[in-house]
């Protein structure tokens, strides 16, 4: 799948000078091919391009990013988070995959969203609600027995 990246406009930049880039080199970009980007592209020596930190772009920790985005779910296959990890789950997972189905022994829910975990794939079997902001070891019947998970929808 192609992921489009839109460059943010420089102050007072004209609409026709904005470029959209793609990871697909053969994709035409607003009538220009990738080879034409050098002719019409952004001049990296241009004094209008600023250092990211000077425009308040900040690196975010995993926890901060999860909080801003609404939350994420992490699993480990060993107690106390020691062992192989499956981090940053977002959205619904009908299956945790061959690497983590029926392997999770520890969890952490970051952000403000609760999660529901299921012992069966496709959101079947026994369920347990994991509260936002919590972490801990899973106990029977969920220890090494979680196969699917989904965030609890926020009421609107």
pLDDT tens track for 1-14: 455 555 555 555 55
In the CATH scheme, what is the code of domain 63-151? 2.60.20.10
Q: What is the pLDDT of residue 99?
A: 86
Q: What percent of the chain has pLDDT over 70?
A: 54
pLDDT tens-digit map of 12-30: 555 555 454 445 555 444 4
Mean pLDDT (the chain) is 73
Which residues are registered as beta bridge partners of 110?
Answer: 72
Q: What is the CA radius of gyration of the chain?
A: 22
Neighbouring C-beta atoms of residue 102, cutoff 10 Å: 15
pTM metric for this prediction: 0.56
Domain boundaries, the chain: 13-45, 63-151
Percent of the chain with pLDDT over 90: 44
User: What number of other Cβ atoms are within 10 A of residue 128's Cβ?
Assistant: 16
């Amino acid at each position: 799948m192609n992921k489009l990246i839109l460059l943010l406009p420089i102050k007072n930049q004209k609409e026709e000078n904005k470029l959209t880039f793609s990871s697909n080199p053969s994709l035409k970009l607003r009538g220009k091919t990738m080879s034409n980007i050098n002719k019409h592209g952004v001049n990296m020596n241009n004094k209008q391009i600023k250092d990211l930190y000077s425009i308040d772009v900040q690196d975010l920790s995993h926890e901060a990013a999860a909080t801003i985005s609404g939350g994420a779910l992490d699993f480990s296959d060993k107690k106390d988070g020691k062992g192989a990890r499956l981090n940053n789950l977002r959205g619904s997972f009908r299956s945790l995959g061959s690497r983590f189905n029926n392997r999770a022994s520890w969890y952490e829910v970051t952000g403000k969203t609760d999660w529901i975990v299921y012992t069966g794939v496709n959101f079947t079997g026994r369920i347990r609600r994991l509260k936002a902001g919590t972490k801990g070891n899973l106990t029977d019947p969920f220890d090494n027995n979680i196969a699917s998970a989904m965030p609890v929808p926020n009421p609107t």
